[in-house]
């Protein structure tokens, strides 16, 4: 269980990354979405013990992160995949994973070897296990990052943009791997790829401007857009600014638009079933309207 109360983080220069976030997260896959600068990475770095909050409290499985001992104990339960993963270029995959496993406190050599072998297989890197990491492609490095995060069977797994740089097959494979692992642990997944959330999380928050603007199931977020999603297929004119364009598809005869809002009759729009992405876009649109100064 992860508990956050009144979590605030301000950087020098008056940048407020988080503004009084209150969250309780249980076991399972938990999604974290929001636009750039919403505070997702700051929140994850606080949970990983890399940043201290300006105000508020965080407890990770009962360990208070405001104390040195609490952070130390919480780190023993943590697996972390940062957005920008760093590796030692002169080590190969097995050596790097072994090094990280040792630092994570895995003392038993045999247990380390077995787990490294199994993880390399899971992330499909067995064949490249003895190659130096400096020869790896971006996708391979992403996979090695995933493997290191899973070392030691962490109770809390924090993954920041884990599927960026992976090809579609690897993305599905990784999503399934995370889902399999979520049975008895907490996995905090931050991503811009809404599809990843919809396919794997049953609980999510949407952050915007450092605050939580939605908390619930992906289906609830999709439902929020019900009645506001439209397909415009006449292709003659581009939707005006009162509508939020979600996607456009080039057809043989014109363009098909997927929009949010209330198109007038000239568009001859037909209603569509909302997806999670529609729900997210609708929420962002509503939040933007709320934040806009009254005319």
Partner 1 sequence: MNKAISQVSGIIRYEMLMQWRRRTLVVLCGFFLVGLIGLAAMIGDFSFVSNGQARVLSMGVDENGITRTVTSDDPNAPLQADNDAERELLLIMNDPRSRATWQMLMIFSPGVLVLLVAIPPLLAEVIPLDHQYKVASLLNTTPLSRARYLIGKLLSVWLGLVIGLSIAAIVYGFYMMTVHGAIDVWTYVRYWVVMALLPALLLAGFAVVVPALVRSRRAGVLIGIGMIPLALYLAAMTLGSGYVLPILFRAAALAQQGIESAFDTAFNDTLLNTISTQIPFALVLFGVGMGVWAILRAKEATS
Mark 35-64 with x for binding to partner 1 (rule: CB under 8 A) and - for no binding.
-------------xxxxx------------
Q: What is the 3-state secondary structure (H, E, C) of the chain?
A: CEEEEEEEEEECCCEEEEEEEEEEECCEEEEEECCCCCCHHHHHHHHCCCCCCCEEEEEECCEECCCHHHHHHHHCCEEEECCCCCCCCCCEHHHHHHHHHHHCCCCCHHHHHHHHHHHHHHCCCHHHCCCEHHHCCHHHHHHHHHHHHHCCCCCEEEEECCCCCCCHHHHHHHHHHHHHHHHHCEEEEECCCHHHHHHHCCEEEEEECCEEEEEECHHHHHHCCCCCEEEECCCCCCCCCCCEEEEEEECCCCEEEEEECCCCHHHCCEECCCCHHHHHHHHHHHHHHHHCCCC
Of 29-37, 102-110, 162-170, 180-188, the window that binds partner 1 (rule: CB under 8 A) is 102-110
Task: Select the span of 100-108, 116-124, 208-216, 235-243 touching partner 1 (CB under 8 A).
Answer: 100-108
If binding is defined by CB under 8 A, does position 68 make contact with partner 1?
Answer: yes
Please pick, from the candidates 78, 119, 141, 157, the single residue that binds partner 1 as defined by CB under 8 A.
78
Residue 13 binding partner 1, by CB under 8 A: no
**Interaction between residue 11 and partner 1 (CB under 8 A):** no
- Choice between 74 and 260, CB closer to partner 1: 74
* Closer of 147 and 229 to partner 1 (Cβ): 147
Q: 1, 15, 76, 236: which one contacts partner 1 (CB under 8 A)?
A: 76
Please tell me whether residue 84 binds partner 1 under the rule CB under 8 A: yes
* Among 3, 64, 95, 286, contact with partner 1 (rule: CB under 8 A): 95
Q: Which is nearer to partner 1, 89 or 271 (CB)?
A: 89
Which residues contact partner 1 by CB under 8 A?
A: 48-52, 68, 72-73, 75-76, 78, 80, 82, 84-91, 95, 98-100, 102-105, 107, 148
């Amino acid at each position: 269980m992860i508990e956050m109360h009144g979590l605030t983080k301000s950087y020098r220069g008056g940048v407020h990354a988080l503004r009084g976030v209150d969250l309780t997260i249980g076991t399972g896959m938990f999604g974290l979405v929001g636009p750039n600068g919403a505070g997702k990475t700051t929140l994850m770095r606080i949970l990983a013990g890399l940043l201290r909050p300006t105000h508020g409290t965080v407890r990770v499985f009962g360990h208070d992160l405001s104390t040195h001992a609490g952070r130390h104990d919480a780190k023993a339960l943590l697996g972390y995949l940062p957005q920008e993963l760093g590796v030692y270029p002169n080590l190969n995959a097995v050596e790097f994973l072994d090094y990280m496993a040792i630092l994570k406190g895995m003392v038993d050599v045999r247990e380390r070897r077995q787990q490294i072998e199994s993880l390399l297989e899971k992330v499909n890197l067995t064949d490249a296990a003895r190659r130096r990491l400096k020869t790896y492609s971006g996708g391979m490095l992403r996979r090695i990052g995933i493997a290191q995060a899973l070392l030691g069977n962490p109770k809390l797994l924090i993954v920041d943009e884990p599927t960026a740089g992976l090809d579609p097959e690897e993305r599905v494979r990784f999503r399934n791997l995370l889902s399999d692992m979520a049975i008895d642990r907490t996995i905090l997944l931050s991503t811009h790829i809404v599809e990843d959330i919809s396919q794997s999380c049953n609980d999510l928050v949407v952050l915007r401007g450092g605050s939580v603007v939605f908390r619930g199931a992906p289906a609830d977020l999709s439902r929020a857009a019900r009645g506001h999603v439209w397909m415009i297929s006449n292709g003659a004119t581009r939707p005006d600014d009162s509508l939020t364009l979600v996607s456009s598809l080039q057809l043989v005869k014109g363009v098909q638009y997927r929009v949010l809002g209330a198109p007038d009759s000239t568009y001859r729009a037909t209603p569509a079933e909302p997806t999670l992405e529609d729900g997210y876009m609708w929420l962002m649109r509503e939040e933007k309207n709320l934040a806009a100064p009254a005319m």
